Amino acid sequence: MMLQGQKSNQPGLIRHLLVLVMLFIVFAIPAARAAEEAGANNGTQVLEAFDRQQVQRVNQASELSDHKKHLVMFLMGVPLLLLLLITGGLGIATGVYGKHLFIPHMIFAGLTITLALAHVIVGLVWFYPF
């Protein structure tokens, strides 16, 4: 008798499982796919917005006013002039007065040349062709 009772429950259990699987397929899978697509669309929108902001930042960074450009050139020119005067003074002290300042003279000459090259490059990039 038990076997007959269990056999009659098994088809009902199988039906319930099939109904649950069908409901899962009908409702859960399309919802998951929609969430994935919405997430992908949202991610794409976020990346596009980030790219637009990045382009705006680059444009703003590259758009220096002439006043700022002149200020930077002046701030590079003042130490360049000081280094040039120090280098000349050390050279005169070494050559004319016989002081042992050749090594500091060469160090300051190297710094002067380096800053002069940077000053020229920045000036050409910003102000050529005037």
CA distance 39 to 57: 27
Helix H or strand E segment including 18: helix 2-23
| Angle of the 66-95 helix axis to the 102-127 helix axis, nearest 10 | 160
- Quick one: pLDDT at residue 50? 74
Using a pLDDT cut of 70, give the percent of the chain over it.
78
pLDDT digits (tens, 9 = 90+) for 25-81: 777 777 667 666 655 566 677 777 777 777 777 666 667 788 999 999 999 999 999
pLDDT of residue 33: 72
pLDDT of amino acid 70: 93
Q: What is the pTM of this model?
A: 0.53
* pLDDT on residue 8: 55
Question: What percentage of the chain carries pLDDT values higher than 90?
Answer: 44
pLDDT for position 116? 97
Measured distance CA(93)–CA(99) in Å, rounded = 6
| Contact call for residues 101 and 90 (beta carbons, < 8 A) | yes
